[in-house]
């Protein structure tokens, strides 16, 4: 069963409730990166063109742990959208505020934004009663928040089941995510090369297992590399490397019969992130030093795999890229991927921000908005909140 698309549906005079992902970095009420909101603007415009009677927008912002944190208010997002579209956006006091029903009955009001869903502990608990309150705000439910589709949260998992299938839609961003990620895992053109970096081996183990089957080469970088090197008996000095990650890496290496996993041959090392960096021209890292980036030999080695690839997936930076001295490996990989003609998908907040900063994002086939969600989709072939959209009654 397919997902229903809003583009070819009549939504005239309907009250439309949309779950967006407006989880953007905000400091002192200033939005630091508006990409996620900008991606949603065409959908908002489309709904207004379709003459919906009310557009009720919902999102989470940050991790307020079920408490009302004023610095995590969606107010700056509501202002930003109002400014961009030249239309008033009414922000409710809370997602369950009784005033929302009054606003819904006022003819001149078009767009209502519910305050941060995660100010309510019920949202992340997947509470059904909370979903029932939200369901009263719309005739139509649309989910376009791919980044949370791997979570069984109330607004994406409980809420759609309170609408009929006829009135339940997957938004354009989700549709695009699914078609790109499906292409990646169903019949990837070969060679299929994956670049996996970042720091959390544990979070990526299941995806790596799946990629061991699907991909031709897996290029490991970032802090991910050290548990693998240590598991092979190579010294990693003071680099980030937990015993648990070493045993996970060992089990993956044992299973890697086709020798698909490739590890850095050199590193950029330092005593700490604030010390002067130095190239370590070997796989091993001295006792008193840490690895903070891949070295030039590794860059060239990985580039050779990438330039030959027909399909590429990248998740996770190649080093401590937030620090200039250790950002070169990550930007090198961003540029190398953008220069290929391969079908390329980049997922994960840090890799996406590196791609955006590098200025090469236009050459990437698909920049995924959800890091964890894209990894879980690759692992399992679907996500809980997507299944609900498909199989609601
Ligand atoms: P993840 O969320 O697993 O993709 O990890 C991303 C984080 O890993 C970023 O904040 C990077 O700075 C960090 N990281 C990547 N490589 C290293 C490294 N060699 N040493 C320390 N942190 C790293």
Which domains are present in the chain?
A: 6-170 (3.40.50.1260), 178-379 (3.40.50.1260)
**Predicted pLDDT of residue 348:** 80
The CA distance from 217 to 258, in Å, is 9
Ligand 1, atom 10, residue with closest C-alpha:
320
Can you state the angle between helices 243-255 and 201-214, rounded to 10 degrees? 10
**Predicted pLDDT of residue 201:** 86
Helix (H, G, I), strand (E, B) or coil at 130: helix
Q: How much distance in Å is there from the Cα of 318 to the middle of ligand 1?
A: 7
Question: What H or E segment, with its residue span, contains residue 294?
Answer: strand 290-294
Closest to 310 (Cα-Cα) out of 338, 331, 341: 341
User: Which residues are identified as catalytic?
Assistant: 36, 200, 349, 372
Contact at 8 Å (CB) between 181 and 374? yes
Contact at 8 Å (CB) between 343 and 176? no
Residues 6+ apart with CB under 8 A from 203: 372, 375
b/e for 205-244, b at 16 or more Cβ within 10 A?
bebbebbbebbbbbbbbbbbbbbbbbbeeeebbbbbbeee
Contact at 8 Å (CB) between 58 and 117? yes
Best mutation site among 350, 352, 355, 370 for ligand 1 pocket (most ligand atoms within 8 Å of CB): 350
- Facing residues of 262 across strands? 219
Edge-to-edge strand ranges of the sheet holding 217-220? 261-262, 217-220, 192-196, 311-315, 343-347, 366-367
Q: How much distance in Å is there from the Cα of 171 to the middle of ligand 1?
A: 32
Tell me if 350 CB under 6 Å of ligand 1.
yes
Atom of ligand 1 nearest to the CA of 317: 15
Closest to 111 (Cα-Cα) out of 31, 40, 17, 6: 17
Contact at 8 Å (CB) between 201 and 221? no
Contact at 8 Å (CB) between 178 and 383? no
Per-residue pLDDT of the chain (393 residues; tens, 9 = 90+): 578 889 989 999 999 999 999 999 999 999 988 989 999 999 999 999 999 999 999 999 999 999 999 999 999 999 999 999 999 999 999 999 999 999 999 989 999 999 999 999 999 999 999 999 999 999 999 999 999 999 999 999 999 999 999 999 999 999 999 999 999 999 899 999 999 999 988 889 899 999 999 999 999 999 999 999 999 999 999 999 999 999 999 999 999 987 999 999 999 999 999 999 999 999 999 999 999 999 999 999 999 999 999 999 999 999 999 999 999 999 999 999 999 999 999 988 788 888 888 888 889 999 998 889 999 999 999 999 999 998 766
Q: How much distance in Å is there from the Cα of 36 to the middle of ligand 1?
A: 22
Q: How much distance in Å is there from the Cα of 320 to the middle of ligand 1?
A: 5
Best mutation site among 198, 204, 333 for ligand 1 pocket (most ligand atoms within 8 Å of CB): 198
Per-residue DSSP letter, 118? G
Best mutation site among 320, 324, 331 for ligand 1 pocket (most ligand atoms within 8 Å of CB): 320
Q: How much distance in Å is there from the Cα of 226 to the middle of ligand 1?
A: 12
Helix (H, G, I), strand (E, B) or coil at 289: coil
The CA distance from 241 to 270, in Å, is 16
**Predicted pLDDT of residue 393:** 63
Max intra-chain CA distance, the chain: 70
pTM of the model: 0.90
Tell me if 348 CB under 6 Å of ligand 1.
yes
- Cis-peptide into 67, omega within 30 deg: no
Closest to 70 (Cα-Cα) out of 30, 114, 119, 111: 119
Ligand 1, atom 2, residue with closest C-alpha:
198
Ligand 1, atom 11, residue with closest C-alpha:
320
Residues 6+ apart with CB under 8 A from 215: 188, 192, 193, 194, 260, 313
CA 356, 358, 362, 363 torsion-angle sign? negative
The CA distance from 116 to 136, in Å, is 17
Per-residue DSSP letter, 5? -
**Predicted pLDDT of residue 355:** 86
CA contacts within 13 A on the Cβ side of 65: 0
């Amino acid at each position: 069963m397919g997902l229903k698309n809003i583009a070819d549906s009549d939504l005239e005079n309907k009250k439309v409730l949309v779950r967006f992902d407006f989880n953007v970095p905000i400091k002192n009420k200033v939005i630091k990166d508006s990409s996620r909101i900008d991606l949603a603007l065409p959908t908002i415009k489309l709904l207004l063109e379709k003459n919906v009677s009310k557009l009720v927008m919902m999102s989470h912002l940050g991790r307020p742990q079920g408490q009302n944190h004023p610095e995590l208010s969606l107010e700056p997002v509501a202002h930003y959208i109002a400014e961009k579209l030249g239309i008033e956006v009414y922000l409710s006091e809370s997602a369950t505020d009784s005033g929302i029903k009054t606003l819904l009955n006022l003819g001149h009001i078009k767009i209502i934004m519910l305050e941060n869903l995660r100010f309510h502990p019920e949202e992340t608990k997947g509470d059904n009663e909370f979903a029932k309150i939200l369901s009263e705000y719309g005739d139509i439910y649309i989910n376009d928040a791919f980044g949370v589709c791997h979570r069984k949260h109330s607004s994406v998992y409980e809420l759609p089941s309170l609408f009929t299938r006829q009135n339940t839609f997957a938004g354009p961003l989700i549709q695009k995510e699914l078609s790109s990620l499906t292409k990646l895992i169903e019949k990837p053109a070969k060679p299929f090369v994956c670049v996996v970096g970042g720091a959390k081996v544990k979070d990526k183990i299941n995806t790596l297992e799946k990629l061991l089957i699907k991909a031709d080469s897996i290029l490991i970088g970032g802090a991910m590399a050290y548990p693998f090197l240590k598991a092979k008996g190579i010294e990693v000095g003071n680099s980030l490397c937990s015993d648990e990650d070493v045993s996970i890496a060992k089990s993956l290496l044992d299973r890697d019969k086709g020798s698909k996993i490739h590890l850095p041959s050199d590193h950029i090392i330092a005593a700490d992130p604030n010390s002067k960096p130095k190239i370590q021209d070997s796989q091993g890292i001295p006792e008193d030093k840490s690895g903070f980036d891949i070295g030039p030999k590794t860059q060239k080695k990985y580039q050779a795999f990438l330039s030959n690839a027909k399909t590429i997936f990248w998740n996770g930076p190649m080093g401590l890229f937030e620090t200039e001295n250790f950002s070169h490996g990550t930007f090198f990989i961003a540029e190398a991927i953008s220069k290929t003609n391969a079908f390329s998908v980049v997922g994960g907040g840090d890799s996406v921000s590196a791609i955006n900063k590098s200025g090469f994002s236009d050459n990437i086939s698909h920049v995924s908005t959800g890091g964890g969600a894209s990894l879980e989709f690759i692992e399992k072939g679907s996500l809980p909140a997507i299944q609900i959209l498909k199989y609601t009654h």
